[in-house]
Amino acid sequence: MGSSESKIDKHNLSNDSSKQTPRTNDESVVNVGSSNDETKKSASIFQSPKLDDSTPKKYELKPAHVNTLVAKTWNPNDPKSWEPEMREYHALPNSDYMLPDDAAEQDRLEMQHYVLRAAYQSDIVCPAVQNLVKTPGYKILDVGCAGGFWLKCVKKDNPQTECHGVDISQTLVNQPTFQNDGILLQFGNVLEKLPYEDNTFDYVHQRALVLGMPREKFPDALRELIRVTKSGGWIELVEADIVLYNAGPYSQTLTTAAFDGLHRRGLDCYAATNLPFYVKQVSEHVEKEEQKMVHLSLGWGSKMGILFGADIKAGFLGLEDWMHKSMNLSREDYRQLVQGCYSEWPQHKSFGQFRALHFQVKK
């Protein structure tokens, strides 16, 4: 990798994850209920925060201790990781992606979709594509499409668009409803070869793949997205930082452990922050790059903040099979820890951040 690697590493290797202030000087920022008082006043959908002072009593907060071997090697398809109460996962043996693909996770992603749509005021962030997508026969691909909810929304507004989705979960891509909606979903792994010819799509969208994209493979995965995109077509990436900002004690305990474990698995807890540095690795194919960062209040500030709090809480519960083992906590203690975070977010005005970045492909 080139000169940007040191910056990527700097963000990844910091242990004081939850106290960092997001960098905002190099991007356009939409503050949606951020902790900044000035912007809070002007963020129309985040008025009259409701504070929740309730403190969980059951879980006694202790310093996070991560079993590094479990954190690193846990794999939902490895019998050594299996437990009776486990949730359902994709069945790809060589992928250690560790969020479930069950109905509860689909509900969470649907919630998250509405939060992001409100924050970016559109399903498609790139202004050029917002117009082009109305062209009959415009061909789009969603990579890591899960249950295809984003595609369904785009197709509803643009019925003439040809919609394709690809995911490592066979369960999700086989859902019959999508074939009926004229959306073509199929199995595919962006870390290997996507099942499409070169130069197939006008627009390729990839959102929230942070837990499926090891740092070292990120640039090659971008090259794969570029391969299937037409010259002059667009790529849009939307990613979150896994750390939470303005974290209280429960959130610091949880995110420090998560950060440690994810880093050992080669993942990037600062995917939103680092997105531009990954894109720099493929700069020979990048034109007209634009980006937009959003700060989202967690469980406070407005209905959308409440929804985002529920989304992130469900996300941490989705990581329970991996996290409770790697933190060496009982399931009950882990759930109490997550509940502790959820209860303290309003008090600490905690927030998370996403970055949307798009560029036109030059070949």
Residue 212 or residue 248: which is nearer to ligand SAM going by CB? 212
- Retrieve residue 147's tokens: 């249950």
CB of 48 to ligand SAM, least distance (A): 29
Is the CB of 101 or the CB of 202 nearer to ligand SAM? 101
Give pairs for 216-221: CB < 8 Å, separation 24+: 216/266, 217/191, 218/268, 218/278, 218/281, 219/1, 219/278, 219/281, 219/282, 220/191, 221/190, 221/191
Compute the least distance from the CB of residue 58 to ligand SAM, in Å. 29
Nearer to ligand SAM, 124 or 143 (CB): 143
Least distance to ligand SAM, CB of residue 191, Å: 4
The nearest distance, CB 206 to ligand SAM, in angstroms, is: 7
Question: Which of 149/316 has CB closer to ligand SAM?
Answer: 149
- Report in angstroms how near the CB of residue 332 gets to ligand SAM at its nearest: 26
Q: Do 228 and 199 meet the contact criterion of CB atoms below 8 Å apart? A: yes
- Whichever of 43 and 172 has its CB closer to ligand SAM, that residue is 172
Smaller CB separation from ligand SAM, 36 or 77: 77
Which phi and psi (to 5°) does residue 302 adopt? 180, 175
- The minimum distance between CB 192 and ligand SAM, in angstroms, equals 8
Cα angle value 296/249/109 (rounded, 5°): 35
Buried b (16+ CB within 10 A) or exposed e, 82-103: eeeeeeebbebeebbbbbbbee
Residue number of the CB atom closest to ligand SAM: 212
Q: How far is the CB of 21 from ligand SAM (least distance, A)?
A: 25
DSSP string spanning 38-100? HHHHH-GGG-S---------SSPP------HHHHHH--TT-GGG--TT-------TT----S-
Nearest in space to 39 (alpha carbons), one of 332, 338, 360, 301: 301
CB of 217 to ligand SAM, least distance (A): 9
Residue with Cβ nearer ligand SAM (64 or 294):
294
State both tokens at 327: 């933190």
- Phi/psi of residue 190, each to 5°? -70, -15
In the complex, the residues that contact ligand SAM under the rule CB under 6 A are 90, 97, 99, 101, 109, 113, 143-146, 149-150, 167-169, 189-191, 207-209, 212
167 vs 268, which CB is nearer to ligand SAM?
A: 167
Any idea which residue has 């998370």 for tokens? 352
**Least spacing, CB of residue 69 vs ligand SAM, in Å:** 23
Q: What is the dihedral of CA 75, 79, 81, 85, to 10 degrees?
A: 110
> What are the start-end ranges of the H helices in the chain?
5-13, 37-42, 68-73, 103-120, 127-132, 149-157, 170-173, 176-180, 218-228, 249-264, 271-280, 303-318, 320-326, 331-348
CA gyration radius, the chain: 20
Distance from C-alpha of 101 to C-alpha of 13, rounded to nearest angstrom:
30
Q: Which is nearer to ligand SAM, 150 or 201 (CB)?
A: 150
30: β partners: 294
Instruction: Please say which residue, 146 or 254, places its beta carbon nearer to ligand SAM.
Output: 146
Rounded least distance, CB 150 to ligand SAM, Å: 6
